[in-house]
Structure 1
Amino acid sequence: MPYDVGALRAQIPALRSGFALFDGPGGTQTPARVASAIADALTGPLSIRGRLTPGEKNAEGFVQGFRRAMADLVGGDPSGVVFGRSATQLTYDFADALAKDWAPGDEVVVSRLDHDANIRPWLQAAERAGALVRWADFDPVTGELPAEAVGGLLTERTRLVAVTAASNLIGTVPDLPEISRLVRQHSRALLHVDGVHYAAHAFVDVARLGADLFVCSPYKFLGPHHGVLTASPELLERLRPDKLLPSTDVVPERFERGTLPYELLAGTTAAIDVLAELATVTTGGRRDRLRSAFAAIEQHEGALRERLEAGLAELPGVTVRSRAAERTPTLLLTFDHREAADAYPFLVDRGVHAPAGSFYALEASRHLGLGDTGGLRVGLSPYNDESDVDRLLEGLAAFLRS
C-alpha cells in the first residue's frame, strides 16, 4: 500500500491549527494516540514498579514495553536502553561516567558539525580530566564532514569520538560506518553518536552505523519530551555512574536516577507503534515494519524536498546552505541583504512556521560564517504535504518582494 500522508495528518490534532509546520527538527507534533497512551497511563492504576498490584504491574509493563520498542527502533538490545530527561542530560551523564577513566594526555575528538549537546559535555569532561580535545572540521562550502577529517585526528590516546549522525542545522549525514571503521583501529576509543536529528528521518541500525553509544529524542519522531541512550549491555556494565546507595546497580537501571515517568515511556511506545503503522507492508514484526515505514518516509520527504529546492531555485537572493550529497530533508536558508530573523515572523503572519536561528549548533553556524545568528531552518516531517511546501514558497516570495 502507498504512503498515506493524509491518514497520518488526520491523527495529529495540532494540524487543525491551519499552520504549515516546518519546525519538526525542534520537535514534531503529537498524534492523538500518543497523548491517549500518556493519559491512560496516568489515570489507570499506577504505582512504583513491582509484580503484585495492578499499579505495580502496569508500571513494570510500561518500562519493559518502552525498552522493547526503542530496541526495535534502533536495532539494539532492550537491556541497553537508558531513559533520560533529554539527550543533553544523557550525554552529560555519560561524559561524567566515561571521563572517570580518562587521564591527562588522553584525547577526545569532536566535530564542528554537531549540536552543542554533543560538543560541550565532552569538552568540559576533557578539561576536568586533563584530556586534549581535537576538532574535526566540515567543509563550509559543501557541508560535508569527510570520514578522513575524523580519522586523521585519531591516535592511540583517543578515548572518545563524538559525531552526529545528521546535522540538525544543515542536514548533513556523515559516513558513520566509515568513521566507525577508522575508530575501531584504536582499541580504546569509543564512538558516541548524536542521533537526535537522524532518527526522525532514517531507519536506525546502530550496528551498521558502528555506534558504541547512540542518543535520540522521541519528541523528534512524534513522541513525548525526553531522551534515550542505547548501548550494548556489556559496555554499560563497565561504567560506574554516581548513584544513590539503595538504588539498583542493575543495567540499565543504574543510569536512571529516581522514579521513571511511566506515562512518557507509554507515550514513546505508542509513537513507535504509530511509525510502524506507516509501513507499506503488513507482514513481519515491528522492526520489519519500521524498516518499511522509514523507507516510505524517506521517499515522501525526499519528494517534498525536491519540490522545495526546485521552488527555492526560482527565488532571487536565496542561499541554501544544505548541500551535502547525503542529508536529511532539512534546509538552512539565508537571504541577500535580508535577515532570516525577519523572515520568521513574516511567515508566521501567513500561517507558516519556519523558525530562524542557529538551533544550538553554534560551532556549525560559526563555521558557515553565519556567527551565532544562523539562518531560516526549514525542516520537513512525515506529516508535511505538497500544500505546505507551496505555502512556504509563496510566503518566501512575498517576503523577498516586501
Structure 2
Amino acid sequence: MTYDIGALRAQFPALRSGVAFFDGPGGSQTPRPVIDAMADALAHPLSNRGSLTAGERAADALVTGARAALGDLLGADPDGVVIGRSATQLTYDFSRTLAATWEPGDEIVVTTLDHDANIRPWVQAAAAVGATVRRAAFDPDSGELTAARIAAEVGERTRLVAVTGASNLIGTRPPVPEIAELVHRAGALLYVDAVHLAAHARLRLDTLGADFAVCSPYKFFGPHLGVLASRPALLETLRPHKLLPSTDRVPERFEYGTLPYESLAGATAAVDFLAGLADGTGTGAGAGRADDRPARLDAAFAVLAAHEEPLRRRLETGLAGLDRIRVHSRAALRTPTLLLTIEGADTRDAYRFLAERDIAAPSGSFYALEASRGLGLGDTGGLRVGLAPYTDEDDIDRLLAGLGEFIAGAA
C-alpha cells in the first residue's frame, strides 16, 4: 500500500495556512470530515436524549454512535465508555470516587514520567483520605520506565498504580502490559493515561491490561473531549456523587449534565477518519463503515507507523548533523515525539524564531513537570517536536533548516 500524503493533507483546511505543524502532541489539526460532522449535527434537530422527537432520537444516536466508535478505538465495551470534558477532568472525578474506597495506610503509586494530570489528582485524593503516595522514577539517561521500577514501589497495601501509556514529553512507551501483570498480582488497579499513545498506536483495553484508560479525541483529529474506558462490571462497583434525578446506569452515572452532542459527532468522525487510513492512501476512503472498523483500525495504525517511522529517522539524522542539539527522547520504544535542548540557547527563543517562519514547534514542559525536572531541565523543559499523520518530508526539512539558522544566529 502507498501512503498518499498529498491526498491526506488536502483534507486538513488548517494546512492551507502554510504552517508546518509539529505541535500535534498538544492537539492535532482537524480534517474536513470531522468539521462537517460537527456542523451537520448542529444543523439538524437536536435536543436532550429520548425516543419521541426527531431531536431526541438524533441526540441518542450521536451518543450511541460515539460510544461504539470510541469503544472500537480503545478495544473496549461501549457500555464501559465514559464521556467527559477532558482527560484531566475524568481523572479527577475517578480519583475522588476511587479514594472513597481507600483507607489510611493504603498506598497509591504514580510515576515521574507522567503528565501532571495523572499525578496530581491521585496525590490530592490520597491526601484527602490519609493514603500514602509512592513514586516510580524513570531513568533520565535512557528515558526508560521499566516494570522493575514500578514493582519496587508496589506492595500489599497498594490500591492503584497510575502510569502513562506514552510520555507526552519524550515519547517513552513503558511496558504497560508487563506493569499490569504485577499490579494485578498485588490486587491493585491500573489507571493508564493513554492521551498521547492513542494518536500513535492501536489500543485494546484488555491487551494493555488497564482497568481504566483515558484519552482525548483532539489528539487524533477530533474535538476537545475526554474519554475513559473501563469494564462495565468494574464501573458498576463504583459510586460517584451524582444528582438525585440523574440516571444510575453505567456508564451514564459518571457523566454530568448534557453531553456535547456535536462533539460526539466529531469524535465518531475522527475515529472513522483514522480507520480510513487503512486503505493506504490516506484519503479516508470508506469512513463511516462501522461493521469492520476494528479490523480497519488495526490496518490503519500499521500504515501510520510505516509513515511516521521513516520521518522520525529523517528528523533524527538531520538533528545529529546540527551542532549543540541534545535529544532527550531515547527510549527503545517510543512515539515520534522528540524533546530537544540547545546548548547555550533558550528553546523559548527557538520557539519564537521558528514561529516567525511558520513552523509550530513549542517550548515548555507541557504539564509533565516531574519528567522535566527528572531530566534536569527544571520547569522550563525544552523544544518539543511531534510528528503527525499529516507531517511530510518538506515539514521535516523546513524544521531542520530553521533550527540550523537559529543555531547559527545564536552562536
Partner of 1:388: 395
User: 1:344 corresponds to which letter in structure 2?
Assistant: Y
Shift in Å, 1:146: 0.7
Cα deviations by residue, 1:203-234 (Å, 9 ceiling, x for unpaired): 11111110000000000000000100000001
* Structure 1 residue 298: Cα displacement: 1.1
Contact between 1:123 and 1:133, CA under 8 Å: does it hold in 2?
yes
Aligned to 1:370: 377
Offset at residue 157 of structure 1 (A)? 0.6
Query: Could you say what secondary structure the match of 1:191 adopts?
Result: strand
Which residue does 2:83 correspond to in 1? 83
- Name the aligned partner's letter for residue 378 of structure 1: V
Partner of 2:346: 339
2:360 is the counterpart of 1:361: no
Q: CA deviation at 1:357?
A: 0.2
Mapped pair 1:321 → 2:320: no
1:245 maps to which residue? Answer: 244
2:72 equivalent in structure 1: 72
Structure 2: distance between partners of 1:247 and 1:143: 45
Question: Matches of 2:148 and 2:17 in 1, distance apart?
Answer: 46
Following TM superposition, the consecutive aligned residue runs of length 4 or more in structure 1 with deviations greater than 3 angstroms are: 280-284
C-alpha distance in 2, partners of 1:120/1:299? 36
Aligned-residue Cα RMSD (Å) equals: 1.0
Gaps of 5+ in 2: 281-285
Distance 2:174 2:248 in 1: 36
Q: Secondary structure at the match of 1:239?
A: coil
Once the two structures are superposed, residues 298-323 of structure 1 have per-residue CA deviations (whole angstroms, 9 ceiling, x without a partner) of 11111100000000000010000000
Residues 3-402 of structure 1 aligned to structure 2 (within 5 Å): 3-187=3-187, 189-280=188-279, 285-402=292-409
Describe the SS at the equivalent of 2:138. coil
Contact 1:96-1:125 at 8 Å conserved across structures: yes
Partner of 1:268: helix, strand, or coil?
helix
Mapped to 2, the partners of 1:204 and 1:111 lie a distance apart of 21
Q: Distance in 2 between matches of 1:372 and 1:143?
A: 17
Q: Which amino acid aligns with 2:354?
A: L
The Cα of 1:43 is off from its aligned counterpart by 1.5
Counterpart CA distance in 2 for 1:292 and 1:33 is: 20
Shift of 1:280: 3.2
Contact 1:340 1:376 in 2 (8 A): yes
Instruction: Output one character per residue of 1:362-396: Cα deviation in whole Å (capped at 9) or x when no partner.
Output: 00000000000000000000100000000000000
Amino acid at match of 1:323: R
Q: Is the 8 A contact 1:356 1:376 kept in 2?
A: yes
Residue identity matched to 1:38 = M
Equivalent residues of 1:87, 1:215 under 8 A apart: yes
TM superposition score normalised by structure 2: 0.96
Secondary structure in 2 matching 1:82: strand
Name the CA distance, whole Å, in 2 between partners of 1:279 and 1:273: 10
Inter-partner Cα distance in structure 1 for 2:183 and 2:205: 15
Percentage identity across paired residues of the two chains: 64
Aligned partners of 1:4 and 1:178: how far apart in 2? 36
* 1:381 partner letter: A
Which residue type is aligned with residue 78 of structure 2? P
Q: Which amino acid aligns with 1:72?
A: D
Q: Secondary structure at the match of 1:275?
A: helix
> In the alignment, residue 351 of structure 2 is paired with which amino acid?
Y
Q: CA deviation at 1:257?
A: 0.6
Structure 1 gaps, min length 5: none
1:99-142 superposed Cα distances (whole Å, 9 cap, x missing partner): 00100000000000000000000000000010010000000000
Shift of 1:153: 1.1
Q: Is the 8 A contact 1:3 1:279 kept in 2?
A: no
